[in-house]
Amino acid sequence: MNDDEPLWYVAYGSNLFRERFRCYLAGGRPEGGARSQAGCRDPRPARAEQSITVPGGIYFAHHSRTWGGGTAFYDPDLPGRAAARAYLLTRRQFCDVLSQEMHRPVGVDHDLSEALRHGRQRIGPGRYETVLKVGERGGCPMLTFTSPEPGPPNAPTAAYLAMLGGGLREAHGWTAERAASYLAGRPGARGAWTPEGIAGLLRPGSPRRGGLGSSHERR
């Protein structure tokens, strides 16, 4: 596979939101985030995008340097299906997005051959350093990345949930209530947030607090 050959990057977290993902391609800091992205060597927009679901589910764990609180990870062994958005990138763009998620400098053309052949490849020990092949579309492989094993659950912040919820609504056309119910049922968020609490973050004019604050449903 050469550097310009297309593949699908499958986003299931904050990169569901197109404007958020644009920062990974062109550089910049997303609204509500604490960290600027370097961008890709090739900053062009994705060639295509599709709203999809993949087998498994997401959960919230660890602690985000960008958002605070837990971040979303994909587990293909969870029951159900995970809502996602697929972006058609070049292999080189995918490698640069992967490097940014790994908090590494861009410019490394990662060897993805094991993931493409066997469906799973551990690039490194970090939280987003395991690449999974989740299918094919239009003759192009569909890849995502996640933690090598489930981490300790941790509730996400309001700002992060607002970003994910906005992405779900934009990508899939869901109502605020449907997006909120989906997110509130994920491990890590379940029991820490109610669907009503998350829905309130997704309605026009609602504050998107960076911390859990008063919008967080406490046990």
pLDDT at 219: 27
pLDDT digits (tens, 9 = 90+) for 50-74: 999 999 999 999 998 878 899 999 9
pLDDT at 208: 52
The structure tokens listed for 219 are 């046990």
Largest CA-CA distance found in the chain, in angstroms, rounded: 51
Task: Indicate the range of 14-28, 50-64, 153-167, 194-208 predicted with least confidence.
Answer: 194-208
Quick one: average pLDDT of 122-131?
Answer: 91
Q: What one-character DSSP code corresponds to residue 215?
A: G
pLDDT at 211: 33
Topology (CATH level 3) of domain 6-146: Hypothetical upf0131 protein ytfp (3.10.490)
pLDDT at 185: 97
The structure tokens listed for 151 are 């981490």
* Domain residue spans of the chain: 6-146, 158-215
Q: Tell me the C-alpha distance between 205 and 177, whole Å.
A: 16
* pTM of the predicted model as reported, rounded to 2 decimal places: 0.89
pLDDT at 210: 35
- Spatial CA neighbour of 195 closest among 206, 208, 214, 182: 182
Residue type, 21: F
